[in-house]
Chain A
Amino acid sequence: MKSWIAFWNILKKDVKSYYLKPPNISWGIIFPLSWTLMQLIRSPGGSILELLPGLISMSVLFGTTSMLAVTITFERSGRSFERLLLAPISISIMVLAKIAGTVLFGIFNAFVPVIFASFFIDFSMVNWGLLLFAVLMIATTSALMGLLIAVSAEQVFEAQTFSNFFRFPMLFLCGLFIPISSLPVFLRPLSYCLPLTYGTDILKGAITGTNILSPLLSFGMLPVFEVALFFICRHNINRKWIL
């Protein structure tokens, strides 16, 4: 019960102080809009539906990874983060609470393009359950990666840089823009080590039915990534933040 009170209040505070701030909200709206516009201008007549999985993935990825990395690094540099380490709650609860805010923000970002798209296209084919699952999985794995970055970064700009360092290669390797089958052979194994690859594949399946991987594989791999990342984060926090 006590841990739950702490969990809930950490989440509430983060949402209020970071995620509901105008610059972040507007980022979640402007980014998908401009990306869609860019794609439509580049290839007029392109289907918004086909753009949607990529758009959702990117919105989530960009919203979560750097968000968590930056907010945590920010709290660490102001030392308020010590309060969370000193609170009588387990590191796991604390990590979950920090991630929960980002995941919610990621889900919000994911649905911005969906809502815009709903004005133009027919969604009757979309499997919403699958879509939500994929968004949730992309958001949690990205948030955990953001946390891993936060553990390595000392300063806010480092957190930003590291985030980009991971994000862009991931986008190119995950099969969104370049099909994995067209990647150089030596890069392909790397693609299969990225949670994003599985997440976007489920998204494609849910929206346009064009998934390449077996759904069973994707469904199996994502929780494995989650659990692994969670424990790596916890271990690193214990090692690096408790000196």
Chain B
Amino acid sequence: MAMVSVTNLKKTYGNFTAVDNISFEIEKGEIFGFLGPNGAGKTSTINMIIGLSRPTSGEITVDGIDVKQQTKKAQAIMGIVPDESNLYNEMDGFDNLCFCAALYGMRKEEREPKARQLLEQFRLKDAGKRPFKAYSKGMRRKLTIAAALIHSPQVLFLDEPTTGIDVESSRQIRDMILELKKKGTTIFFTTHYIEEAERICDRIAFIAEGQIVASGTVSQLMESVSHGHAIRFVIDKNAESSVAELKTHFKENEVTTSPDNSLVMVSDQRIPLFPVMEFFHDREIGVYEAREIRPSLEDVFVKLTGIESSVLKKDREKRGC
């Protein structure tokens, strides 16, 4: 059974449709990512799943629990990291964690050791005695994530956990997500960093204007827009001179050159290397490199959503102050 199941979920604000009839499932122990630009509907979707906002229509279950009917029961097994670090400014790190634990009904004997362990794990041990308001952005984010983990949730929701965070903290957060997966936690996170989604997600959904444009594993997404197969050769002569001959030799392949002694062969079929190597060998042309070129996830994203990747990057600069 899927850990999170969303069916025909829709959210409108007035006449505006923020989430437009989306459906997806997240398996137990999976890392599922929502990748999309600002305003795509990522936060709106998360807020409905966690019970902070009411769906206009559609069904949501978490571990088989209907979120609309039994919101509190479902919330008990969720860990939630909102898009803003929202702990209590005046309280120190340790007290913040203990308070969050208490909200989930954890006793003092359970919550204090757990809080200490999390502070250690997130390298915030020294900061544990300082008030939250004195934390840097990265520290705030890490403590907010620690607070979401204090009751050992079965499923963790992270809304843009690394947006606007320093590189080192972002890396720690990604490592932590992968670590949690190993322990069996199901993870749903949103991001507008393509590389991040590609690096840690088991499956990704591209979301734009409230709709899921495509979803699947990275390789499934890649295949969905496959442009055939391409191999780049780097040789020791000017590539220009051999193109014409190559084209007659390998009729089914398309050949293009670049000025830097390299050429690219494209074909619908996979390209066997040996005949090509032999061709070069016979003409005493040295080959230094032969590498398959795959479309990047970024290319796939652009192709499927029609959104230029620069839009995502711009969001990043805007928010990542």
Contact = CB atoms under 8 A, between A and B. Distances in A.
30 contacts: A5-B107, A6-B102, A6-B103, A6-B105, A10-B102, A10-B103, A13-B88, A13-B99, A17-B91, A78-B86, A78-B88, A79-B84, A80-B86, A80-B87, A80-B88, A82-B86, A83-B103, A85-B52, A86-B51, A86-B80, A87-B75, A87-B103, A87-B104, A88-B73, A88-B75, A89-B105, A242-B52, A242-B54, A243-B47, A243-B54
Interface class of chain A by DSSP: helix
Contacts of A82: 52, 82, 86
Nearest to A243: B53
A1 interface: yes
Nearest to A4: B105
Given A6-B103, A88-B73, 6 more contacts: A85-B52, A86-B51, A87-B104, A88-B75, A89-B105, A243-B53
Contacts of B106: 5
Contacts of B91: 13, 17
Contacts of B75: 86-88
Interface of B (DSSP majority class):
loop
A89 B103 contact: yes
B53 A88 contact: no
B56 to A, nearest CB: 11
Contacts of A1: 105
A85 B72 CA distance: 9
A82 B51 CA distance: 11
A84 interface: yes
A1 B102 CA distance: 11
Contacts of A88: 72-73, 75-76, 103-105
A26 interface: no
B108 to A, nearest CB: 9
Contacts of A3: 105
